[in-house]
Structures are given as structure tokens and as C-alpha cells.
Amino acid sequence: MDCIVERATDGARAAEVSKLLVDTGSECTWIPGPVLDQIGIGREKEGAFVRTLEGLNPTVDAARKRLVPGGPHPAAVGRR
């Protein structure tokens, strides 16, 4: 989805972000740094993200009674 991002204190400063993925359950908004720079929005916080159990995609090794890596899975699937 294409989206217009604007500075809340100055609506005249805005930029378009193409193909923005909207995740209503996300705690963070992912906007490219150069876009934020263009409209004068500074970065509030930069840091490492902790991987969740769901992000590791584990499967159960019943014989050994432990979790093992389940391998990669697609983050998103597009339609054409």
C-alpha cells in the first residue's frame, strides 16, 4: 500500500512511502531513515530487537523432547 507520512507538527512536510506493509499488531513503525530525514523527523530510538519464539519457527522433536529449528518461512506473500 502506498502511504503519505507527514510530520504531525507540520503537515506541510510530508513524503510518500511506496509499498508500505501495514501490520496492525506491530509495536513499531518501519519507515526508511532517508524518508524521515526528508521530512525532518528524528529517530527516537535505535536498538536490537529480541526474537520471539514465533519468529524462530520451532518444531518439536518428540523423540528428544525438545524444540528444534523449523527452517525459514515467508514473512509475506504478495498477489499479482
pLDDT in tens, the chain (80 residues): 788 888 888 778 899 988 887 777 777 777 888 888 998 888 776 666 666 777 678 889 999 999 888 877 666 556 65
Q: Which helix (H) or strand (E) holds 37?
A: helix 33-38
Cβ pair 39, 5 in contact under 8 A:
yes
Cβ pair 27, 11 in contact under 8 A:
no
Whether pTM exceeds 0.85: no
